[in-house]
Chain A
Amino acid sequence: DAGVIQSPRHEVTEMGQEVTLRCKPISGHNSLFWYRQTMMRGLELLIYFNNNVPIDDSGMPEDRFSAKMPNASFSTLKIQPSEPRDSAVYFCASSDEGGGNQPQHFGDGTRLSIL
Chain B
Amino acid sequence: GNSVTQMEGPVTLSEEAFLTINCTYTATGYPSLFWYVQYPGEGLQLLLKATKADDKGSNKGFEATYRKETTSFHLEKGSVQVSDSAVYFCALSEGTSYDKVIFGPGTSLSVIP
Q: Which residues of A contact B (CB under 8 A)?
A: 4, 31, 33, 42-43, 45, 48, 50, 55-56, 91, 93, 95-109
In the complex, chain B residues 77-113 whose Cβ is within 8 Å of any chain A Cβ: 89, 93-101, 103, 105-106
Can you list 24 A-B contacts with CB-CB less than 8 angstroms, sorted by A residue number?
A33-B100, A42-B103, A42-B106, A43-B44, A45-B100, A48-B98, A50-B97, A91-B43, A93-B44, A95-B99, A99-B97, A100-B95, A100-B98, A101-B32, A101-B93, A103-B34, A103-B36, A103-B46, A105-B46, A106-B43, A106-B45, A107-B43, A108-B41, A109-B42
CA distance A96 to B100 in the complex (A): 11
Determine whether the beta carbon of B95 is less than 8 Å from that of A43: no
How far in angstroms is the closest Cβ of chain A from B54?
16
Q: In the complex, are the beta carbons of A91 and B99 less than 8 A apart? A: no
Q: Would you call the interface of chain B mostly helix, strand, loop, or mixed?
A: loop
A108 partner, pick from B34, B43, B95, B99, beta carbons under 8 A: B43
Residues of A within 8 A of B45 (CB): 105-106
Q: What residues on B are CB-neighbors of A93 within 8 Å?
A: 43-44
Are B43 and A100 closer than 8 Å at their CB atoms? no
Residues of chain B touching chain A, judged by Cβ–Cβ distance below 8 Å, are 31-32, 34, 36, 41-46, 49, 51, 89, 93-101, 103, 105-106
B49 neighbours in A (Cβ, 8 Å): 101, 103
**Chain B residues positioned under 8 Å from A43 (CB to CB):** 44, 89, 103, 106
